[in-house]
Structure 1
């Protein structure tokens, strides 16, 4: 992330808040811009900046505002419950380099305005908002945050990310003061998935903070624990930092497609942007809002407007979505919460999120090796016994007590009694940066062998941890 402190200026705010504006274009990390029916591509964003122009001479069919732009600031929204979630349960993911922590009682942000960052035309909304966040998240327990898997990819991003509460406006020109008590570090990523597994497109992470959040400062959001699809037309509300700006509440969305056959994600017409990745999406069920999803991807954020005065960018608006089915729908993809909770409860114990769940009992073994050619030789191995239907969770990361140095590689083999040989059934290289993780459900009972080595012919060492459920 680029930072141009010498060329910055201080934007005046309330006594306990400062926003330091930088005049270089920031790149938001949490942007996945794609239609659900096509492959994701990274948007190059605005390439030039210009004055306001006439009506656009070219348009794109896809967009991220569906009909009317329903986004509202915290101070402007009327729903007390959603305001409470904004105030107490929502976090902005901010790169540590973009925080000014020199005064613990007044944390500042190094940031461009939204207009500067996106090259927006002067008739667009929220032009003077700072763009400090790259993703969003939701507090689901005293020290746990739920976000998108692509927002926190591994140890390096864990170490460089800060989780910031109170990133919202209290008035048209004022931000809620943020102190060091509102800023948290990432202690570890407990579970993470950002892949397609068995036809399910998953994108989630649960992060453990460096300390519990005081109940006086924040309260975990109520989580929808059901493993059933949301019905279409269910009312949705999303809270997060679209394009990196202070939290906005959009309560005008609804479910368009539920993907009941896979229960990986549902599709909604929420007005969301890059930076909303990881945002909590609440479903209104029987009159109450429950955290039902994680915003993970969607359509193109901004489109170019070309006119006599030059170029600038405007919010990409869809006035009609057309047909929307589980197979194809050009709108916003929202992962169901349940797969993330299930993954967490498989490797951890938590009375709030995993009621009735027995304690996780990891087994560990140490290793130190080199020259393993992707764990095909010189490996350190341990056998385990699995019954049909049991699931093995094993890793050099993402299982309690697992740790490693170097680029690790894991393999899992099944023992074939008829031939007295082993057959590979699963392997992983970089599930968590350079570390490895396998989740495998046994179809056949028997003896299985865990092998750990290093990527290519490098050296690595650490501790493998595994749990059988």
Structure 2
């Protein structure tokens, strides 16, 4: 559940933080087929390029940072969630607690409830390349040059079931990953195709296509049938042209019990409540 990512938060430490209540629903779910893919399985060159500019948010306590290499430590997904044997990715480790994307040379966009305070930010590392790049090879280390720290919370906003986003200034500019394109004007339409890239339940990067916009009636967010979980919070949601339409923030329940173990909650493509995505145009005044 996403609330666990914020249990140790200390709200109110930054004037750039706006909080109004807590989102009531922050979990995620599978809609229709499970479309999640590891990076090595993704054939689309565009989707691979987009994934290259996304980050895992990982607590510093899960990293051993060296001069050249940073080691990543975590439990397996199966152990963390008492998964049934039928669940995918059970033997992968889940070090991340949220997701983000590069929207300026030194700025990461994520969900506001992922980084609520200066302390949260100081304890978080923003890691590029936390992905399964070859079948069966766990990403237990990355180059230390791919690990960034928080320099400043530019703006963080959590407005109940409304807007939910944060912009984080990094400790240095990113020079080896491209800044992602964001929608500047207008709005996404119902039925538009979407792709989400992030870290469901903290797992290495997953790319999930095959989703569509279900509702656009709310001014600050839209609703889509994205295959996502806790940990995906902060994930960039892209249109078919690779432009960011929004930031994934909340949705339906992740898991349900099946006997003594848990399985993913599944809905039809048009069922359940859908997943809320803060419109990317909400961040533009702060970039």
Give me the TM-score of the superposition, normalised by structure 2.
0.89
Task: Please tell me whether the aligned partners of residues 30 and 275 of structure 1 are also in contact (alpha carbons under 8 angstroms).
Answer: no
Equivalence for 1:52: none
Return the match for 2:157 from 174, 193, 203.
193
Equivalence for 1:153: 116
Return the match for 1:257 from 202, 207, 215.
215
Return the match for 2:282 from 339, 342, 346.
339
Pairs within 5 Å for 1:316-395: 316-319=265-268, 321-322=270-271, 330-342=273-285, 344-345=286-287
Pairs within 5 Å for 1:18-29: 28-29=4-5
Tell which structure's C-alpha radius of gyration is larger. Answer: 1
Aligned residues: 270
- Pair 1:40-2:28 in alignment: no
Equivalence for 1:117: 80
Name the SS of the counterpart of 2:190 in structure 1: coil
Pairs within 5 Å for 1:65-214: 65-87=30-52, 89-101=53-65, 103-175=66-138, 177-196=141-160, 201-214=162-175
Distance 1:290 1:82 in 2: 11
Shift of 1:263: 2.4
Q: Pick the structure with more helix per residue.
A: 2
Structure 1 residues without counterparts, runs of 5 or longer: 1-25, 32-38, 44-62, 323-328, 346-469
- Pair 1:276-2:232 in alignment: yes
Question: CA-atom RMSD, angstroms?
Answer: 2.0
Task: Please tell me whether the aligned partners of residues 3 and 26 of structure 2 are also in contact (alpha carbons under 8 angstroms).
Answer: no
Equivalence for 2:11: none
Distance 1:41 1:178 in 2: 33
Q: 1:52-80 CA distances to partner (integer Å, 9 max, x unpaired)?
A: xxxxxxxxxxx711110000011001111
Task: Please tell me whether the aligned partners of residues 30 and 276 of structure 1 are also in contact (alpha carbons under 8 angstroms).
Answer: no
Task: Please tell me whether the aligned partners of residues 167 and 175 of structure 1 are also in contact (alpha carbons under 8 angstroms).
Answer: no
Shift of 1:253: 0.5
Name the SS of the counterpart of 1:112 in structure 2: coil
Distance 2:70 2:110 in 1: 23
Task: Please tell me whether the aligned partners of residues 165 and 182 of structure 1 are also in contact (alpha carbons under 8 angstroms).
Answer: yes
> Aligned in 2, Cα 1:320/1:145: closer, same or farther, shift over 3 Å?
closer
Distance 2:238 2:25 in 1: 27
Q: 1:286-314 CA distances to partner (integer Å, 9 max, x unpaired)?
A: xx2201100000111111001xxxx1111
Name the SS of the counterpart of 1:124 in structure 2: coil
Shift of 1:321: 3.0
Shift of 1:158: 1.0
Give me the TM-score of the superposition, normalised by structure 1.
0.55
Task: Please tell me whether the aligned partners of residues 30 and 135 of structure 1 are also in contact (alpha carbons under 8 angstroms).
Answer: no
Distance 2:242 2:25 in 1: 33
Shift of 1:229: 2.6
Task: Please tell me whether the aligned partners of residues 25 and 252 of structure 2 are also in contact (alpha carbons under 8 angstroms).
Answer: no
Distance 2:151 2:123 in 1: 11
Equivalence for 1:303: 256
Distance 1:240 1:74 in 2: 11
Task: Please tell me whether the aligned partners of residues 29 and 264 of structure 2 are also in contact (alpha carbons under 8 angstroms).
Answer: yes
Shift of 1:175: 4.2
Task: Please tell me whether the aligned partners of residues 57 and 97 of structure 2 are also in contact (alpha carbons under 8 angstroms).
Answer: yes
Distance 1:340 1:165 in 2: 21
Task: Please tell me whether the aligned partners of residues 92 and 240 of structure 1 are also in contact (alpha carbons under 8 angstroms).
Answer: yes
> Aligned in 2, Cα 1:165/1:320: closer, same or farther, shift over 3 Å?
closer
Distance 1:30 1:249 in 2: 24
Task: Please tell me whether the aligned partners of residues 30 and 134 of structure 1 are also in contact (alpha carbons under 8 angstroms).
Answer: no
Shift of 1:104: 3.2
Shift of 1:27: 8.4
Shift of 1:143: 0.2
Equivalence for 1:220: 179
Structure 1's consecutive aligned runs of 4 or more residues displaced over 2 angstroms after TM superposition are 103-106, 319-322
Task: Please tell me whether the aligned partners of residues 110 and 165 of structure 2 are also in contact (alpha carbons under 8 angstroms).
Answer: yes
Shift of 1:222: 1.0
Task: Please tell me whether the aligned partners of residues 65 and 316 of structure 1 are also in contact (alpha carbons under 8 angstroms).
Answer: yes
